[in-house]
């Protein structure tokens, strides 16, 4: 997927989330997508699944690593849905945030976040809910 296509997709998905929860914090409703060129989300060692993250608060944003754009489109959609699910989770500090992010994404968009054979979020073939052996 191109950077332009990812940004367009993100804006479309963000609109679904803001329509679903119009009272979400303003920073979350306006959170930009940042496409980062670095290899890992944090530090120098990363897993294959280390592809995106959400930052909450007054400088809210979703960060997608550039290497994620080489994945199938269904993975990029799944990653963005999951991270937006974190931003729009009304109870982010409560236990179970990872699975809840997927449930929030489904409530906001009707799309199911699944996990493919590499345990990467997808809207394509895969298993749902999030496997229990992954970080919760």
- Predicted local confidence at residue 50, as pLDDT: 82
- Report, as an integer, the average pLDDT of 1-14: 98
At residue 42, the 3 state secondary structure works out as: coil
Q: What is the separation of C-alpha 106 from the centre of its chain, rounded to a whole number of angstroms?
A: 12
CATH code, domain with 59: 3.30.2010
Q: Please give the pLDDT value at position 38.
A: 74
Q: Where are the alpha helices (DSSP H) in 1-136?
A: 3-20, 26-29, 73-87, 97-109
Q: Is residue 37 part of a domain?
A: yes
Range of the domain at 41: 3-122
**Looking at the predicted structure, is the pLDDT value of residue 43 above 90?**
no
Pairing label, strands 121-122, 114-115: antiparallel
Mean pLDDT, the chain, integer: 93
In three-state secondary structure terms, 63 is: strand
Q: What's the average model confidence in pLDDT over 93-103? A: 95
Count of the separate structural domains present in the chain: 1
* Structure confidence by residue, pLDDT tens digits, 56-73: 999 999 999 999 999 999
In a domain, 134, yes or no: no
Q: Has residue 136 been placed in a domain?
A: no
Q: Does residue 123 or residue 46 have the better pLDDT?
A: 123
Separation of alpha carbons 67 and 14, rounded Å? 21
* Within a domain: 36: yes
Assess if residue 12 is contained within a domain: yes
Specify the 3-state DSSP secondary structure of 114.
strand
């Amino acid at each position: 997927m191109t950077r332009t296509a990812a940004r367009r997709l993100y804006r479309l998905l963000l609109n679904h989330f803001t329509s679903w929860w119009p009272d979400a914090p303003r920073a979350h409703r306006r959170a930009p997508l940042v496409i980062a060129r670095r290899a890992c989300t944090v530090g120098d060692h990363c897993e294959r699944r280390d592809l995106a993250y959400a930052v909450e608060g007054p400088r809210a944003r979703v960060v997608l690593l550039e290497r994620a754009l080489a994945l199938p489109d269904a993975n990029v959609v799944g990653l963005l849905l999951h991270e937006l699910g974190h931003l729009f989770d009304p109870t982010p500090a409560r236990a179970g945030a990872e699975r809840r992010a997927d449930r929030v994404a489904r409530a906001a968009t009707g799309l199911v976040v699944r996990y493919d054979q590499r345990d990467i979020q997808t809207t394509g073939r895969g298993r749902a809910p999030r496997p229990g052996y992954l970080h919760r």
